C-alpha cells in the first residue's frame, strides 16, 4: 500500500526487495495463526502477491481476494499465475470491496502502518469477516529497529538524512496494534514477535536490495556520487560479513490476531 510520500510503483523491484522477507515472516505467522482450510481470505494491501502465494501453497483456501492501490503491484501479482482461486484487484483498505461477513480470514501483511487511517482499515477488515473469523496482521517493528534494512536507515540518520515515513509508523508498534484490535471489538486478541533473517551473497547484494526500498531510494537518489559512496561504506561497516563474504541481517515483526465475536 502507498501514500503520497512512499509509492511502490514497480512490482518486480518491490518483490525482489521485500518478497523473501515477507515470505519468511509469513510462514511463521501462518504457523501461529493456524487458520482453517477451505477458508475465504482477503489479503489487504497485497502488494506483489507474496503473502497470497504463501496462502495458496500452505492453506488450501477456497478463495483469496488481494487488494492494493498500486496498479503496478496488482499487475505483478496477477503474473504469478496463482490460479482461479485467487483474484487481485485495485482497491482501498478504507473501503473494502466486499459485503459484510464475506470472508473467514482478513489479513494485512506489512501494511497497517501504510493505511491512511489504521483504525478505519482494521474496522473494515472486521466488517467483512464472518463471526468467529480471524482478523490478523504483522508489521515490521519500526520503532524497535526491526526493519530488514535497518543498517541503511541508521547510516542515513548518522549522516543527518531523513527517510520519508509511512503515514502511521506508530501503527507498527505492538502497543498500538493492541489498541487498534481491542478498540475494534475483536475477541481473543493475541500477539507475538516474529524474528527472521535473510542471507545475501555479499554486501553489494544487500545494498542493491536495500536501495530498492522507496524509503531509502528517495534519499540515496538525491545524493551526489561522493555522498552516496560514504553512505554505502558507513552501512557496510555495520553489516558484519561471514568469511565467505555473505551477510545475514535480522529483522523483527510485530504480529496480532483477533476474532470477530458472534452477534
Per-residue pLDDT at 148: 94
Per-residue pLDDT at 107: 98
219, 146 in Cβ contact below 8 A? no
Per the listing, cell 471489538 goes with 185
HSE, side-chain direction, 13 A CA sphere, residue 163: 24
Which residue intervals of the chain are DSSP H helices?
11-14, 20-33, 50-59, 71-78, 118-127, 150-158, 174-183, 203-210, 214-220, 225-237
Distances (CA, A) of 84 to 46, 64, 65, 257: 17, 9, 11, 27
pLDDT tens for each residue of 136-167:
999 999 999 999 999 999 999 999 998 888 99
Per-residue pLDDT at 19: 82
Measure CA 198 to chain center: 15
Domain ranges in the chain are 11-147+165-199+252-259
Per-residue pLDDT at 6: 47
Name the maximum alpha-carbon separation found in the chain. 62
Per-residue pLDDT at 150: 94
Residues in the chain, pLDDT under 50? 1-6
55, 41 in Cβ contact below 8 A? yes
Per the listing, cell 557496510 goes with 236
Per-residue pLDDT at 162: 86
Distance of alpha carbon 153 from alpha carbon 155, whole angstroms: 5
Q: Is 185 helix (H, G, I), strand (E, B) or coil?
A: coil
pLDDT tens for each residue of 217-247:
889 999 999 999 999 999 999 998 999 999 9
Per the listing, cell 510520500 goes with 5
Per-residue pLDDT at 191: 98
Please give the CATH superfamily to which domain 11-147+165-199+252-259 belongs.
Vaccinia Virus protein VP39 (3.40.50.150)
What dihedral do alpha carbons 166, 167, 172, 178 form, nearest 10°? -170
pTM: 0.91
Distance of alpha carbon 263 from alpha carbon 257, whole angstroms: 19
Amino acid at each position: 500500500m502507498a501514500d503520497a510520500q512512499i509509492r511502490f510503483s514497480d512490482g518486480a523491484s518491490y518483490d525482489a526487495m521485500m518478497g523473501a522477507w515477507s515470505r519468511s515472516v509469513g510462514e511463521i505467522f501462518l504457523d501461529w495463526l493456524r487458520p482453517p482450510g477451505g477458508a475465504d481470505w482477503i489479503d489487504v494491501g497485497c502488494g506483489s502477491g507474496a503473502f497470497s502465494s504463501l496462502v495458496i501453497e500452505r492453506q488450501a483456501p477456497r478463495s483469496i481476494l488481494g487488494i492494493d492501490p498500486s496498479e503496478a503491484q496488482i499487475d505483478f501479482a496477477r503474473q504469478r499465475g496463482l490460479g482461479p482461486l485467487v483474484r487481485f484487484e485495485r482497491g482501498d483498505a478504507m473501503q473494502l470491496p466486499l459485503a459484510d461477513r464475506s470472508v473467514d480470514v482478513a489479513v494485512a501483511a506489512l501494511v497497517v502502518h501504510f493505511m491512511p487511517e489504521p483504525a478505519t482499515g482494521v474496522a473494515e477488515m472486521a466488517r467483512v469477516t464472518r463471526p468467529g473469523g480471524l482478523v490478523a496482521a504483522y508489521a515490521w517493528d519500526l520503532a524497535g529497529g526491526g526493519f530488514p534494512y535497518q543498517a541503511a536507515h541508521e547510516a542515513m540518520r548518522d549522516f543527518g538524512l531523513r527517510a520519508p515515513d509511512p503515514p502511521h509508523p506508530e501503527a507498527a508498534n505492538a502497543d498500538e496494534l493492541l489498541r487498534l484490535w481491542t478498540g475494534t471489538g475483536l475477541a481473543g486478541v493475541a500477539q507475538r514477535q516474529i524474528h527472521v533473517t535473510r542471507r545475501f551473497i555479499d554486501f553489494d547484494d544487500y545494498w542493491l536490495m536495500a536501495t530498492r526500498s522507496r524509503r531509502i531510494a528517495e534519499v540515496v537518489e538525491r545524493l551526489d556520487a561522493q555522498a552516496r559512496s560514504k553512505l554505502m561504506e558507513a552501512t557496510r561497516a555495520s553489516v558484519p560479513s561471514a568469511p565467505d563474504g555473505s551477510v545475514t541481517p535480522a529483522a523483527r515483526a510485530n504480529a496480532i490476531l483477533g476474532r470477530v465475536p458472534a452477534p
